[in-house]
Structure 1
Amino acid sequence: MRMEPDSTAVRTAMWRALHVLIDKPPHVLDDTLSLQIAGVDDDDWQTRPDMDPERTGPNRSSIVARARVTEDTVTSSGVQQYVVLGAGLDTFAQRDKRTVRVFEVDAPATQAWKRERLDDLGLLVPERLRLVPVDFEAGESWLDKVVAAGLDPAIPTVVSMLGVTMYLTREAISATLRAAASLAAGSVMVFSYSRPIEMAPPEIRPILEGAAKGAAASGHPWLSLLTPDEAASLARDAGFGDVHTETSADLHNRYFADRHDGLSPIGGEDLVIATVGGG
């Protein structure tokens, strides 16, 4: 069992921290804690090619925007349960000051590593955070596992799945959405998706093509690139009553329109926000 963080999760943590460290305020998301959890103590990490301030601007903008929308959804919905699928180095449980119970779902090796890191740093927050190991490759049900860990399926819950769908088949995406749609009325599913590369702005396509090649080379090829209509249809077919999309342009208008540094998530991931209806 590999006892080290996933490289994609570490890169995401770095981009979230980089936003705070080099981009001008106001910051869309204030999170450098995930960098601490990752154990990145090399002072030269910002000189890595994948941390280039200009070239990676769209990446880190998209990363912080999708997280901000999701966390705003948790806050505005008033739910007391939040499930993070593919949690990686997420730090909502440490940064949020309310009483929301957080269930972080990820691969067993990742969760074992993260539990050790949080213990070492004194950040486990046991009264509010449950680290839930799920072996998806073995066919384990994330919903069964989080219920066993203490989630009450009879009360509204927010479920997020960010930066994951491109690595899943459409069948796997649908199965995940159906499980979330079986939760109590008022529950909300937030998931991100990437469009086909040819739909991206021309200046963004080389970045996406490079990312796709890198993902394939690392053994994690992109399996599902979706149009907004396709992504929304997957949510409706899974049983959600109210479904709407937040495109990368929408995220720009929400969080970046008044900036003067050119930072923008346009061309990055879009979001679907789907709500479970009543009866």
Structure 2
Amino acid sequence: MNEGQPSRTALSAAAARAAHPLVDDRPLIFTDPLAPRLLGGLADEMIGYHRSNGGHIILAGTRTVTTVRSRYAEARAGAFGQYAILGAGLDTYAFRAPAGRRVFEADHPATQEWKRGLLDAAGIPVPEHASLVPVDFEAPDGPVRPLAAAGLDTARPALVSWLGVAYFLTRDAVAGTLAEIGRLAPGTELVMDYALPPGLRDADGDAYAEIAARVVRDSGEPSRTWFAPDEVNALLKDHGFDVVENLTLERAVPPRAWRRTDALRPFDYFRLVRAVVTGRPVTG
């Protein structure tokens, strides 16, 4: 994000989650009841875009990817006593999670300060089981040290989600973060999304990517990195993970989620991968 400026991508993702139950037909893919409150005075305007232009490929596509990836990640949270959300943006899981499950939100310091202001304005308290941890993913020391300082028990398995972030970082920064996560306790699970390069997307994915590239570039948050699925699998293996599944949006949720009469359709630009830290020494 630009220093001192709200992240447009974080706002767009929160607006898409807030708009989904208001704009789209049933079955709902995912519900985030706190998203409209967190948007505060921006909620009517941003949700209004979805109400009036909900079939536009960018708006419908953003509702699709944000709801699918949130549902996919949160479905894994119940298996772990601690959950680290890297690049949390305006995610609200920490404020909906059951008591007793530690949740750590890691994001850019400016994003965290901005989010605290939105939480205060919305009257949403930060619960005792939640910690907002400032992290710079481009910094050489990575996210694990500040997470551990905030209370993440690195000797116990955790769920780590890293969604809507990797494509805005350099390849070196992605690899560095994966190396850090790969040194966490064996059994730690990572849920991550990534963007496909040209030639591997479907037609709708190409159309979404072309428009989205202009939007995020103009907002000062340009996409930087794309991966083929085999590249992601190899990178994870190199940093101490076993890949459990590497999925299209279509396959990341039950088939009944796509029995739809609205504008939401699975498109192939973003993929979701789930991998487990093995604890085996990394060679090479």
TM > 0.5: yes
Contact 1:216–1:222 under 8 Å retained in 2: yes
Q: How many angstroms apart in 1 are the aligned matches of 2:157 and 2:124?
A: 26
Q: After alignment, is 37-46 or 152-161 more displaced?
A: 37-46
- Would the alpha carbon gap of residues 111 and 53 (structure 1) be closer, same or farther in structure 2, given more than 3 Å must change? same
- Would the alpha carbon gap of residues 45 and 261 (structure 1) be closer, same or farther in structure 2, given more than 3 Å must change? closer
Counterpart amino acid of 1:5?
Answer: P
Q: Per-residue deviation at 1:168? A: 1.2
- The secondary structure found in structure 2 opposite 1:186 is coil
Contact 1:103–1:146 under 8 Å retained in 2: yes
User: Does 2:265 correspond to 1:264?
Assistant: yes
Show the 5 A alignment for 1:184-203.
184-203=185-204
User: Does 2:177 correspond to 1:179?
Assistant: no
Q: How many angstroms apart in 2 are the aligned matches of 1:138 and 1:235?
A: 20
- Would the alpha carbon gap of residues 210 and 26 (structure 1) be closer, same or farther in structure 2, given more than 3 Å must change? same
Q: How many angstroms apart in 1 are the aligned matches of 2:140 and 2:256?
A: 38
Q: How many angstroms apart in 1 are the aligned matches of 2:135 and 2:39?
A: 21
TM-score with structure 1 setting the length: 0.90
Which residue of the partner structure matches residue 89 of structure 1?
90
Contact 2:15–2:43 under 8 Å retained in 1: no
Which residue of the partner structure matches residue 60 of structure 1?
63
Show the 5 A alignment for 1:62-141.
62-75=65-78, 78-141=79-142
Q: Per-residue deviation at 1:22? A: 1.1
Unaligned residue ranges in structure 1 (runs of 5+) = none
- Would the alpha carbon gap of residues 262 and 210 (structure 1) be closer, same or farther in structure 2, given more than 3 Å must change? closer
Q: How many residues align?
A: 277
Q: Per-residue deviation at 1:154? A: 0.5
Which residue of the partner structure matches residue 164 of structure 1?
165
- The secondary structure found in structure 2 opposite 1:39 is helix
- Would the alpha carbon gap of residues 40 and 148 (structure 1) be closer, same or farther in structure 2, given more than 3 Å must change? same
Unaligned residue ranges in structure 2 (runs of 5+) = none
Q: Per-residue deviation at 1:40? A: 3.5
Contact 2:73–2:191 under 8 Å retained in 1: yes
Q: How many angstroms apart in 1 are the aligned matches of 2:84 and 2:234?
A: 22
**What is the CA deviation profile of residues 145-181 of structure 1, one whole-angstrom value per residue up to 9, with x for unaligned ones?**
0100011000110111111111112111111111111
Counterpart amino acid of 1:70?
Answer: A
Which residue of the partner structure matches residue 208 of structure 2?
207
Q: Per-residue deviation at 1:98? A: 4.5
TM-score with structure 2 setting the length: 0.88
Which residue of the partner structure matches residue 32 of structure 2?
31
- The secondary structure found in structure 1 opposite 2:258 is coil
- Would the alpha carbon gap of residues 214 and 121 (structure 1) be closer, same or farther in structure 2, given more than 3 Å must change? closer
- The secondary structure found in structure 1 opposite 2:100 is coil
Contact 2:25–2:261 under 8 Å retained in 1: no
Which residue of the partner structure matches residue 277 of structure 1?
278
- Would the alpha carbon gap of residues 42 and 114 (structure 1) be closer, same or farther in structure 2, given more than 3 Å must change? closer
Q: How many angstroms apart in 2 are the aligned matches of 1:54 and 1:121?
A: 29
Which residue of the partner structure matches residue 236 of structure 1?
237
Q: How many angstroms apart in 2 are the aligned matches of 1:218 and 1:41?
A: 17
Q: How many angstroms apart in 2 are the aligned matches of 1:111 and 1:252?
A: 30
Contact 2:60–2:264 under 8 Å retained in 1: yes
- Would the alpha carbon gap of residues 144 and 246 (structure 1) be closer, same or farther in structure 2, given more than 3 Å must change? same
- The secondary structure found in structure 2 opposite 1:24 is coil
Contact 2:85–2:162 under 8 Å retained in 1: yes
Counterpart amino acid of 1:52?
Answer: N
Q: How many angstroms apart in 2 are the aligned matches of 1:136 and 1:260?
A: 40
- Would the alpha carbon gap of residues 66 and 172 (structure 1) be closer, same or farther in structure 2, given more than 3 Å must change? same
- Would the alpha carbon gap of residues 220 and 229 (structure 1) be closer, same or farther in structure 2, given more than 3 Å must change? same
Q: Per-residue deviation at 1:58? A: 2.3
Which residue of the partner structure matches residue 142 of structure 1?
143
Contact 1:5–1:113 under 8 Å retained in 2: yes
Q: How many angstroms apart in 1 are the aligned matches of 2:255 and 2:240?
A: 28
Q: Per-residue deviation at 1:115? A: 1.9
Seq. identity, %:
37
- The secondary structure found in structure 1 opposite 2:133 is strand
**What is the CA deviation profile of residues 201-234 of structure 1, one whole-angstrom value per residue up to 9, with x for unaligned ones?**
2234222101112222333222111111111111
Q: Per-residue deviation at 1:62? A: 1.1
